[in-house]
Amino acid sequence: MSTPKLVYVTQILTTPAKLWEALTNPDFIQQYWFGCRNTSTWKEGDVIESRSPEGKLEWHGKILKSVPERELVFSFDHLADEPPSRVTFKVEAQGESVQLTITHDEFQEISAIRDRVSNGWPSIIEGIKTLLETGHADNSDKSCAASAK
């Protein structure tokens, strides 16, 4: 049986280059990902880690695909009793805006992680959009772990 995947699509008034920087620069990420710092070389095969402001490892994974300004795919291991899932960011220029599509899939059939991250993704997306369009993020004061609670 196939499990539901989470798909989120938003339009952001920005460029592919600026959106890519927001998705891969730990200083940017920390502003909209509940204070977490997601770090990696962003090269295929390399590790990605997300750490709380206190330095606690929240989740980790492996970069599965990285095409700058177009697509980023990584495994998402939330350190729980579930196998890793997969996150895909697709960046598509559309006139003066950029369409960001986030797909989170490959969950096990019954998944507590899927239920948790489905609450976090909308805030993360809102934070990216707000940060890029206004220069200010509005969810940096929330807990890093809130993205998976």
Domain presence at residue 63: yes
SS3 for the chain is CCCCCEEEEEEECCCHHHHHHHHHCHHHHHHHCCCCEEEECCCCCCEEEEECCCCCEEEEEEEEEEECCCEEEEEEECCCCCCCEEEEEEEEEECCEEEEEEEEECCCCCCHHHHHHHHHHHHHHHHHHHHHHHCCCCCCCCCHHHHHC
pTM over 0.85: yes
Note whether residue 64 is domain-resident.
yes
From first to last of its 149 residues, the chain has per-residue pLDDT tens of 567 899 999 999 999 999 999 999 999 999 999 999 999 999 999 999 999 999 999 999 999 999 999 999 999 998 888 999 999 999 999 999 999 999 999 999 889 999 999 999 999 999 999 999 998 876 545 556 545 44
In a domain, 1, yes or no: no
Q: Which domain holds residue 120?
A: 6-148
The CATH number assigned to the domain holding 43 equals: 3.30.530.20
Residue 91 belongs to a domain:
yes
Residue 88 included in any domain: yes
Q: Please give the pLDDT value at position 126.
A: 95
29 domain residue, yes or no = yes
- For the chain, the domain total comes to 1
Per the domain annotation, does 128 fall within a domain? yes
